[in-house]
Amino acid sequence: MTVENGCECPRCIIGECTITVNPRTGEEDVLCQSCGYQKGVNIRRDEKGEIILKDSTKPLEKDNIYYDKYEVQAPYGMASYMPKIGGIGHMFPLRTFENYLEFKESIEKSKDDLQQAKVSRFTEEKIEVEILV
Ligand SMILES: [Zn+2]
């Protein structure tokens, strides 16, 4: 995996995107840490997570697999939290308002164990940060 930080977010402009590339598979993910914008390239897999081959009689090689582009143009935002113990923060995008409600609910349940939790989102040309804990 190669990770590159600091490219401009095409959605909110203010935020910085992280680009994660898997050189072995060619999969790529772009994620904005401020607004949750996401795009990338994924290998097509079946419901079990197995890679789908164009020709199943041929080996698993880059030209024998399907690549699908995806883009989340209007995500709800970006969630992050830091537990009191361990000191490792977690960050993940919230695609929808429902995802935000789920995150809020899980934070409410475990807030005694958290040092910090917040949601950052892009609204009307600026980034708003909601502190939950
Ligand atoms: Zn952004």
Torsion over CA: 36, 132, 115, 100 (sign): negative
Instruction: For residue 83, report the distance from its CA to the centre of ligand 1, in Å.
Output: 25
pLDDT value, residue 56: 94
pLDDT digits (tens, 9 = 90+) for 21-69: 999 888 999 999 999 999 999 999 999 999 999 999 999 988 999 999 9
Task: Sort residue 86 into left (φ over 0), alpha (ψ -120 to 50) or beta.
Answer: left
Q: How far is the CA of 71 from the centre of ligand 1 (A)?
A: 13
- Residue 122: count of CB within 10 angstroms of its CB: 24
pLDDT at residue 24, rounded to an integer: 87
| Cα 35 to ligand 1 centroid, rounded to whole Å | 4
pLDDT value of position 47: 96
Mean pLDDT of 99-115: 96
pTM for the full predicted model: 0.84
pLDDT value at residue 1: 87
